[in-house]
Each structure stands twice: as C-alpha cells, then as structure tokens.
Amino acid sequence: MRLLISGTCPASLNSNYGLLREITRGFEQLAAAGAAVEVRLVALEELLEAIRDWRPAATLLVGGLALDTIPLPLVRHDCDQARSRLVFWSLEDPYEIDYVLRQGHWFDLLVTSDAASRCFYPGDWSVKHLPLASPDRSLWALSESLNHPARWLFCGVTFACRLHWLDGLVQACPEGLLIGPDWPNYPFPTIVRHQRIAPEVLGALYASLPLTLYLGRDLNLANAAGVVPSTPGPRLFECAGAGGRQLVCGAGLELEQYYEPDQEVLVAATIEEAQDRFAWSVSHPEALADLGQRAWRRTQAEHLYRHRAERLLKWLREL
C-alpha cells in the first residue's frame, strides 16, 4: 500500500511538525519489518502534485483544521481521481472540534486523538480513536546525566489550569525547571526559561531530571459543546519513552488504559496530593527510578508510533 502523509498547514506555521516525522517513521519501521506499506511525507505545498503523480492508495492529513490553509475540495477531487482514500488524524480535539465537524464530510475516515471527542461526531461518519505516542528511543542512550540542579521539570505552553498547578507546586517545591513562553518569573531556585527547545534536548531532560510534571490544557478555540478531553497528550508517552519519571496532575480515568498509577506513573488529583507525591519522590529515589523503567518498558511494548501505525494501517486496509 502506498501511503502519502502531509500536514494541514505549512511547516513554518506548525509547531507540532515533528509529530508528522515521528508518525512517518512509525510506518517506515513497519515497512522495514516486512509490512506491505510504502510511505512518503510531503509538505502541504507539494500535496496535490504528489497525489496526482504518486497515486497513493491512501492520503493521511495530520493536524488541525482551524487554519484555512488546505484546499479540501481540491484534495478530495484529486484523491478521487487517483482512487486514494482520504483520511484525517485530528490532533486538536476537542479544542478545535467545531472545525472538524464542519469539514469532516470530505474524509473517508476520521481519526481523533481524543476518545471523548469521538462521541460528538455524526453517527454515519467513519471515526476511530487513536492516541499519540512516543518516538522509539533507547533508554540507555538518553539516561546519561545532564547534571542539572532542578528536582522537577515542566515544559509547555502557559494555560490557566497549568498556572494553578504550578503556583501551588512552586511554593512547596521550588527547585524546578520551567520551560516555555509566557510563564511568570518565579523566584529562584525555580529556573524559568522562556524558550522552545529541541525534542532531543527535551528527551535528555526527561531522562536526567528526577521528576517531570504532566499537566493538561484547557484552551478551547472552537468547542461549542464544551467537550472535556479524556485522552492524555503526547508528552505523557514521550516522557515515558525517554525513561522519565512522571507526576500526572489532574489525570482522568483514561490514564489507566495506558499506564498503571503508582507503578508506572505517579498521580495526583489535588495540589496537596502533588506536594505529597513530590516529597515521596525525593525520599524514595530507587523506587522512583524503578517506576520510570517500568513506564519505559510499557511504552516500548505498547505506545510507540509504530504501534499506532500498525492500527492505522489495519483501518486503511478495511476502507
């Protein structure tokens, strides 16, 4: 099967473009293992020409639909001419679900990264749920120490719900490293870096620092129904895939489908519980290290992009 992959906006506007590369690598790993799939990743500007010239069996668009950057009627037309099934993997559910509801009729298959959002799609659409995943990394290659003094790490964009958690944690556990734009300048010893960092650097930080915080987000750009997200985002899997030890703050019930609380990740429902979990992690470094290695093994067995590619390939063959 020929599979063409592209984003829904130019790479220059897509801060998550690295996810497209990792998804493509997942299919490439399946091909290397003998699966009958040939995959190409192309820029949005090259998409229509690639459909016409390469004539893939399926065309997979990955991202969001909030930006008016992709001519879906033309893509649908060229896919029909090439006898290519058109598939969309929505990475922005439920935050931009209204856009997908308006445009979803163009696709033969919709894949959502959020399980709760799936319930809000029309019943006659073909919709599947598929969470994001972790790149395939060696635990030992990432485990060398960066010798950073911080006791905890959080990397991400500022949202109100995250500020709530961080304000409480910084007061009780100030020895942290906070990376991302627009964060308050918390007093030392909290270290704040207003910047983006490369995935390779973030992976090394996951592996080196004692504890990484997982915090969800509450930004709804186009979510008229007020859908509450249920599926964890990619950072949960990426950190576990790097051998990181995680404290998941405010997790929903769906977390337990991916990692076992207290065995593979630490979980806190309140700021007070998060403070207690942090204190436990400081006083039990060996148990914390074991937790991180169990999460890494679980990720290697179930939560790499080749695992997601395997499921997607099965659905594509059923179209």
pTM score, two decimals?
A: 0.94
Beta bridge partners of 127: 110
- Whether 251 and 267 have beta carbons less than 8 Å apart is answered as yes
Average pLDDT, the chain: 93
Q: How many CB atoms lie within 10 A of CB 152?
A: 23
Q: What are the tens digits of pLDDT across the range 213-246?
A: 999 887 788 999 889 899 999 999 999 999 999 9
- Whether 230 and 249 have beta carbons less than 8 Å apart is answered as no
Whether pLDDT at 14 is above 90 = no
Q: For the chain, give every domain's residue range.
A: 2-133+305-318, 139-302
53 to 43, 77, 81: CA distances (angstroms): 15, 14, 11
Q: What are the tens digits of pLDDT across the range 69-107?
A: 999 999 999 999 999 999 999 999 999 999 999 999 999
| Percent with pLDDT over 90 in the chain | 83
Indicate the CATH number of 139-302 among 3.40.190.170, 2.115.10.20, 3.40.50.2000, 3.30.70.100. Answer: 3.40.50.2000
- DSSP letter at 70? S
Whether pLDDT at 149 is above 70 = yes
Q: How many CB atoms lie within 10 A of CB 30?
A: 20
pLDDT band for position 148 (cuts 50, 70, 90): confident
| Percent with pLDDT over 70 in the chain | 97
- Whether 233 and 112 have beta carbons less than 8 Å apart is answered as no
Nearest in space to 209 (alpha carbons), one of 266, 154, 249, 152: 152
Cα–Cα distance for residue pair 100/77, rounded to 1 Å: 19
Question: Average of pLDDT values for 183-202?
Answer: 92
Indicate the CATH number of 2-133+305-318 among 3.40.50.2300, 3.40.50.970, 3.40.50.1000, 3.40.718.10. Answer: 3.40.50.2300
